[in-house]
Amino acid sequence: MMDRAALQVILLGMFLMSATSDPVKKKKNVDIYSFYINSTVTSRYATTVITSRVANTLNESQEIQFEVKIPKNAFISKFRMTIEGKTYDGVVKEKEAAQQQYNQAVSRGQSAGLVKSVGRTLEDFKTSVTVSAFSKVTFELTYEELLKRRLGKYELLINAQPMQPVADFKIDVHIQEKPGISFLEVKGDLSTGDLANAIKTTRADKDFQVWVTFYPTQDQQTKCKSCGENGLNGDLLITYDVERQNPKGEIMVSKGYFVHYFAPSDVPRISKNVVFIIDRSGSMSGRKIKQTRLALLKILSDLDEDDHFGLITFDSEVSLWKRELLRATEANLENAKSFVKEIRDRGATDINAAVLAGVDMINRHPREGTASILILLTDGDPTTGETNIEKIMSNVKKAIGNKFPLYCLGFGYDVNFDFLTKMSLENSGVARRIYEDSDADLQLQGFYEEVAVPLLTDIQLKYPGGTNLTKTSFSLYFNGSEIVVSGQITDNSVESFTTEVIAVSKGSNVTYQDTIMTKDPSDVPPENENFMQRLWAYLTVKQLLDRQVLLKGQEKEDEKKEALKLSLKYQFVTTLTSMVVTKPQEGEVEVANKPKEGKGGDGYTADVDSDDDDSAFASFSVINHHPAQRAFLLHSAAMDYSDAMDYSVMIHHPLPTYGSPTIHTTTPPAVQVHSNRFLLPVVGQSKPLCFDVPLPHKLRLLQDSASEFSMNGESLSENHGFHQIAIHYKTNHHLIISTKSISYHNGQDKVEILWGQELTQHNTDGVSLVVLENEMNVTMGNIGVVIISHKKDGVKFLWPAIWEHPKDVNLTGVLGKSDISYVKTEGSQTPTLKMKDKEVKTYLETVSDYRFHSTPVQECWLVPFQAVMEAEISDFTVTQL
């Protein structure tokens, strides 16, 4: 078996997305007899090893999966499989070389491996191998991360979901902190119920070391908040902080490398000037705007009285609560809260004008010895005013002039997060995604709490005798956070090492200087003595990759080469590298790509052009699972509807679609209307009807109550078509289609599908989805619709159309009108149609028919909405997609 052709597994620097249609079930004839998670944290740097030992108890070969979840911030640094006594180690290679290997395999009809993002903090890693009868396999995955301090604590997140109760299950965590551990708490789903009794915490060496063990029995593994017959399913969250008796920070030196943790707490808080810039455009409607109001009300209550603040809301217009910054007095806060309660969604999105107004507000009211902060919250792209992203960033950077930071909060997945990230980094801030969920208001509050108490400004850290330093300049230091700098020592023979921090505290310069002896005995155990070098490499690579969005030309290429060199040296799987593992089967190449925080969702794919800064997506290939698992996986195969539908009862439905007006052949009143124009073919007539619906709107496009099918669409101001369409079927099937990505949820599993990829198909439980390059065919039950993605004048939009349904289905909604007829009235100076015994004035229009990619032009009779639908537009409006 071992001398068969090798199968290559490639773990690329961006992770693929996949899902299974059935809930996870205990694998028959597969025994996970041991599952260990061992995490060692040395001076905030965590190295976690997951080891799963699995036996094939079947008397024939079968595929065995290994699936674990790891933190998004981590780098995989090792993957190993041991089968029948032979070990197969991964080797990290440059991404392009492995990508070529992958492309060659795909051209031979072979398949790709899987990884996906899971929620906000985890990524799901999955691979598989065929194991002989009554044989065993050991999987071992190692990942590394630097724990980040937020709100006064570090968090080590460990997820466990081995798919079945395991006889020998252990989690061992060893934390070593030189200053001592001030507090430690174990939380998470795996600490609830009977499982709490399986957790043991041991402190030693005057709290310099802590061990946390979690050894649940098989019975306990079925009795937690999120556990069941499939065993453990949840997180163990260990939070802690360290003692901070030295305000100069903590310095550690080992083998020619150093790390400096700087987090003084004995500094008086600086009063702040904060301007909140809030998107109130139409896309913020519903829960988003309600949660934003709730969060702002809580944030306003948390302002200190010596803080000054401003409120700006914007859509196509910019509205200032007050023209100047006001002190956070009780009276001003009450007036501001009244203003917040009245924020309503409407209009387009003028980000440029709104941010510049916020900058101007701060610049017009300078206050000595304070810290100024801009916080932008938006859920979409700029759609009005200045819409060129490069120009907006240039305007904002010039206006701010490095005087204060801009923090950008992107609400949901329709936002251009790359744009927000770049604009934040250019102005000394950060971007954070706010997930559309029931706790979005708490997410907003949580971010504000991180920046609520500035302690120092203009921080510069200096290290004489240090080289290859990570970032040493910071605009603000907030209470509860931490500044980390690492580097190399140029002369290993020196006996001391000096650090100097220069900063501004309430308008006055302050200096922190410290010297340590480099020859002191190391507090680092021998088995962890290389951690500091790896910590430096991890932090350097992270910062180099983050800076890529800001750089251009040769400087960008130089930093990219340096990040690649370090990734290869330290075997980190990043966006620039790939890990190749040889397996003892032939015929497949598996590919897994590391997701980045991008423009359209959590799931990203393998076939990526890494040099394209504007692209977060690429094509998709799928692992060759057993047939029972294949049903829910996306794959490149032509779709055959003949098996799923009875064409004897299906018709091609001549129902409304819509187009975009181009030329008036009969001159209507000279009024420009921003609207979507729907086409309604009429049986027996050569010219269809058309009608307008003003923008923006959220419409019930199609509904069949009998089969529990509905389709809704949302349009934005000044944009043709729909930017998002939602299709629901029964109670558990939900499909959300945006101009950037497609998300399908069946009540248990979530699939992310990407526009622009190769032909992709999904079938399960009466639902059939086919994604072509710019078209999606959707069948749910007995209703079939087509969603086409168009791009006009640089703006993407969606167009829906019905393509088939049973004859006896009673459809409603804007697209559901079918019993319409008209007769043209002759002899009138103004064209008139007779409809339902009423005479309706009309105009002959030439429109582009966006039911088709070629957008053919045809004439239509333009009539009022009410004349066609026999109802008001409000009767077809929905509040939620």
> pLDDT of 11-66, one tens digit each?
443 333 223 333 334 446 899 999 999 999 999 999 999 999 999 999 888 888 88
Strand, helix or coil at 745? strand
Q: Which tens digits make up the pLDDT trace of 710-738? A: 999 998 877 778 989 999 988 888 999 99
HEC secondary structure over 619-638: ECCCCCCCHHHHCCCCECCC
Residue 253 predicted with pLDDT over 80:
yes
User: How many H-runs (helices) and E-runs (strands) does the chain carry?
Assistant: 11, 52
Mean pLDDT of 550-573: 91
Mean pLDDT of 772-796: 85
- Residue of higher predicted confidence among 213 and 632: 213
CA 189 to centroid of chain Cα atoms: 23
Band (596; pLDDT cuts 50, 70, 90): low
Q: Which tens digits make up the pLDDT trace of 207-222? A: 789 999 999 999 889 8
Cα–Cα distance, 786 to 770 (Å, whole number): 10
Helix, strand, coil shares of the chain, percent, nearest 5, are: 20, 40, 40
Angle 418-263-299 from CA coordinates, rounded to 5°: 60
pLDDT at position 261 = 96
Contact present, 241 and 154 (Cβ < 8 Å) = yes
pLDDT at position 87 = 85
H runs (alpha helix) in 95-157: 95-107
The beta-strand segments (E) located in 322-392 are 326-327, 371-378
137-141, 283-287, 323-327: least confident range: 283-287
Q: Which residue is associated with the tokens 């640094």?
A: 77
Mean pLDDT of 297-302: 90
Cα–Cα distance, 17 to 124 (Å, whole number): 9
Q: Which of 688, 677, 704 is nearest to 804 (CA)?
A: 704
Band (335; pLDDT cuts 50, 70, 90): very high
Q: Could you give the angle at which helices 531-547 and 553-569 cross, rounded to 10 degrees?
A: 150
Percent of the chain with pLDDT over 90: 35
pLDDT at position 120 = 64
pLDDT at position 552 = 85
pLDDT at position 730 = 87
Band (748; pLDDT cuts 50, 70, 90): confident
Cα–Cα distance, 571 to 404 (Å, whole number): 37
Mean pLDDT of 154-171: 92
Mean pLDDT of 147-155: 95
Q: What is the mean pLDDT of the chain?
A: 80
Q: Which residue is associated with the tokens 């140029």?
A: 490
**CB count in 10 Å sphere of residue 629:** 16
Q: Which tens digits make up the pLDDT trace of 658-685? A: 444 333 333 344 334 478 888 888 877 7
pLDDT at position 620 = 24
pLDDT at position 529 = 65
68's enclosing H/E stretch is: strand 62-71
Residue 9 predicted with pLDDT over 50:
no
Mark residue 85 as left, alpha or beta (left: phi above 0; alpha: psi -120 to 50; beta: remaining).
Answer: left
pLDDT at position 577 = 86
Cα–Cα distance, 756 to 773 (Å, whole number): 5
Cα–Cα distance, 407 to 197 (Å, whole number): 42
Mean pLDDT of 417-443: 87
Residue 105 predicted with pLDDT over 80:
no
Please report the domains of the chain, with CATH numbers, ordered by start residue: 30-242 (2.60.40), 250-263+456-570 (no CATH), 272-452 (3.40.50.410), 675-876 (no CATH)
Cα–Cα distance, 301 to 295 (Å, whole number): 10
Task: Specify the amino acid at residue 66.
Answer: F
pLDDT at position 412 = 81
Residue 589 predicted with pLDDT over 60:
no
93-97, 104-108, 427-431, 518-522: least confident range: 104-108
Q: Which tens digits make up the pLDDT trace of 467-479? A: 999 999 999 999 9
Strand, helix or coil at 876? helix
Q: Which of 362, 357, 432 is nearest to 395 (CA)?
A: 357
**CB count in 10 Å sphere of residue 192:** 15
Mean pLDDT of 99-116: 50
Q: Which residue is associated with the tokens 């409603």?
A: 812
292-306, 342-356, 854-868: least confident range: 854-868
Instruction: Extract the tokens encoding 525.
Output: 């155990």
Residue 634 predicted with pLDDT over 70:
no
Q: Could you give the angle at which helices 440-450 and 287-302 cross, rounded to 10 degrees?
A: 30
336-340, 487-491, 599-603, 797-801: least confident range: 599-603
